[in-house]
Amino acid sequence: MPHKRIIYPLVTFFFIIILWELVTRFGDISSNNFPKPIEVLISTEELIVNGKLLKNTVASLFRVSIGFSLAVLLGVPLGIILGRLENAKFLFNPLVQFLRPISPLAWIPLAMLWFGIGDPPAIFLIFLASFFPMVVSTSVAVESIRPTFFQVAANFNFSRYEVLTKIVIPAITPQVITALRMTIAIAWLVVVAAEMIAVQSGLGYLILDSRNALRMDYVMVGMIAIGIIGLLLDFIMRKLGNIESTAWGRLTK
Amino acid sequence: MSHIQIKNLKKSYIDQRRIARGEEKSFKNQDIVVLNDINLEFQDGEMVCILGPSGCGKSTMLRMIAGFEKPTSGHVLINGEVVSQPRADSIFVFQHSGLLPWMTVWENVELGVRHLEDTEKKHKIIQDYINMVELGNFENHYPHQLSGGMLRRAELARALAVNPDTLIMDEPFSGLDFLTHMKMREEVVNMHEFIKKTTLVVTHDIDDALIMGDRVIVMSGRPSQVKLERKLSFGRPRDLGSHPELRELRDEIFFMLGVSYAV
Ligand SMILES: Nc1ncnc2c1ncn2[C@@H]1O[C@H](COP(=O)(O)OP(=O)(O)OP(=O)(O)O)[C@@H](O)[C@H]1O
Ligand SMILES: [Mg+2]
């Protein structure tokens, strides 16, 4: 069946909603603790109409775009340098490996102290969350380039610039795209957490604020919006991986 | 023109296992000696086929001729000049494909002529060599869209387009089916008859060596030395059936490599 990819997931979601309805209808749970699907649907409409959902979604997406883009723009080149130059690797790799396991959330106090409140600390946290995975995946990708390709480059008298543009960058592209996909998911996880602390807008803030007002229906709207946007981000990243000149990365090895 | 001399060539690798065991690595004599004092000479335009047991160092020797690796001692000279780095006038055809997988056949072949300023001439060269290896219509295909034999042909076209003085081929027919193997072999011989460039071919197939080579060289197992060197002054087309001397030589080589043809 050609539409398996679309119909099967819809079936899954449909059953989840049925299950949700059954639990909230026949279970011994108050509507305040676990709202019914229909209530969440009505609240969704409310939040769409009063513009809150859109405003907060845009705020979150904005922070993720800036933080993630900065991380990619700095992380990929640094990864290439670490993968290519042994001295740079000895100098910086221990530092990268040391900072990497520190959860971005552990940086919250310092981020707030340094950047105050508002967008900057949130963007900084997203940057941190995305930067190290990008550096590490890129340098691993560079190190795993087949030596044959560098011999071909030498054999055909490639300049250093050509080695970079005709060998290194195309060779790592498939792995870097996979890394982008993994990393944007992490960035999206972190933005919600960051917004619960440092800012007054965004989906994370919507959830926190609704909890304080004991509106679990709004909390759930926020969660659903996060899930849907995560799904869309993954979809976009996957499309990026379908470029023809990177097909070899999926089909060989 | 290229006249290649190999003088007292030695290559040894440090035994990584000993280092892993934490032993001193300073005992040079305990390194893995791959090539031990090789002396050879290849005349300009000659096609030389090199045979030897697996792991004896044939690829290693080719890599040093191409300048990819440095000898432990001794040297390789091309036209009297020591080879110290890879050079665009000796092109290497890799044992496992050396095509760049992110480039189409056309872009791969273009690599060797990318500096030509006359675009029209450049395109003609690329097209001519692609047609020569019968890959017309496949210019825009990526390597993963080609069969094993087509990959070898594309790499051959890329090498020839450079118009190199030396062609270095590491097992150009391995992994091909019988018919493709025969056809490629014929193409390489015809190509050589036509352009008369110095061509070094490493092969596992004794028949290939005897049919293709102007000369055949047999190397011993590690530490490798030249065990036999024989000029083959037979005309073309050449086959083993009509030359009893070639059949005798084949048996001699089989014996030397410790196997027998008749079982
Ligand atoms: N980089 C390296 N480090 C250590 N040992 C190596 C290295 N490269 C090759 N060798 C060793 O050198 C020997 C010769 O390898 P080489 O690839 O030249 O063999 P070959 O004659 O081409 O074999 P085959 O016919 O199987 O391709 C092998 O024993 C191999 O283990
Ligand atoms: Mg080999």
B57 lines ligand 1 (CB under 6 A): yes
The answer to whether residues A130 and A113 belong to one domain is yes
Q: Please check whether residues A44 and A15 belong to one and the same domain.
A: no
CB contact under 8 A, B102 and A171: yes
A22 and A89 within one domain: no
Shared domain for A106 and A143, answered yes or no, is: yes
Q: Flag if B100 and A167 touch (Cβ within 8 Å).
A: yes
Q: Assess whether pLDDT exceeds 80 at residue A13.
A: yes
pLDDT at A29: 82
Beta-carbon count within 10 A of B196 CB: 12
Does domain B1-8+39-89+164-263 sit in CATH 3.20.20.150? no
Contact yes or no for B98/B59 (Cβ under 8 A): no
Q: Which residues of B touch A245 (CB under 8 A)?
A: 102-103, 142
- Does A241 share its domain with A172? yes
Considering only CA atoms, which of B131, B197, B146, B145 is closest in space to residue B168? Answer: B197
Rounded to whole angstroms, the Cα distance separating A78 from A37 reads 47
A163 and A57, same structural domain? yes
Provide long-range contacts, Cβ within 8 A and 24+ apart, for A82-87: A82/A135, A82/A138, A82/A139, A82/A142, A83/A138, A83/A139, A83/A140, A83/A141, A83/A142, A83/A143, A84/A142, A84/A168
Both A7 and A51 in one domain: the answer is: no
- Ligand minimally distant from the alpha carbon of residue B57: 1
Quote the pTM value.
0.86
Asked if pLDDT for residue B205 goes beyond 60, the answer is: yes
Cα radius of gyration (chain A): 22
**Residue B213: φ, ψ to 5°:** -75, 145
Structural domains of chain A, count: 2
Residue numbers of the domain that contains A1: 1-30
pLDDT reported for residue B77: 93
Same domain, yes or no: A113 and A155: yes
Residue A209: the pLDDT is 94
Q: What CATH number does residue A188 fall under?
A: 1.10.3720.10
Residues A121 and A16 in one domain: no
Segments making up each domain of chain B, as ranges: 1-8+39-89+164-263
How many C-beta neighbours within 10 Å does residue B68 have?
Answer: 21
Select the more confidently predicted residue: B22 or A99.
Answer: A99
A21 and A41 both lie in a single domain: no
Chain A residues whose beta carbon lies within 8 Å of the beta carbon of residue B66: 151, 155
Q: Are A222 and A207 in contact (CB under 8 A)?
A: yes
**For residue A253, is pLDDT > 50?**
no
